[in-house]
Chain A
Amino acid sequence: MVDAKKRSEAMPVAGAPAESREAIARARAGESEAWGELYREYAPAVFRLCRRVLPTREDAEDATMEILLKVRDKFAQYDPGRPFHAWLFKVAANHCWDLLRRRRVRQDLELPESQMPPLEHPSADLVERLAAERTSQEVRAALAKLPARARMALVLRYYSELSYDEIAQVLGIRRPFVGVVLLRARHQLRELLEQSAAAGRREPRAGGAT
Chain B
Amino acid sequence: MSAALRLALLLILAGCIYLFLAQPYWFPVGASLQAAAIDHQFKIAFWVLGGMFVAGHLVLVFVLAKKTHAGGKPLRGGWKLEVTWTVAITAIFFWLHVSGNHLSLHAKTVMRVGSLQEIEVTGAQFEWYFRYPGADGTFGRTSAQKFARPDEGNPLGIDPADPAGRDDIVSSSLVVPIGQPVVLRLKAQDVIHSLFIPAMRFKQDAVPGMDIRTSFTPDKMGTYEIVCSQLCGIGHYRMRAAMRVVTEEEFEVWLGNQQKAVAQGEQ
A is bound by B? no
Binding site for A on B (CB under 8 A): none
Binding site for B on A (CB under 8 A): none
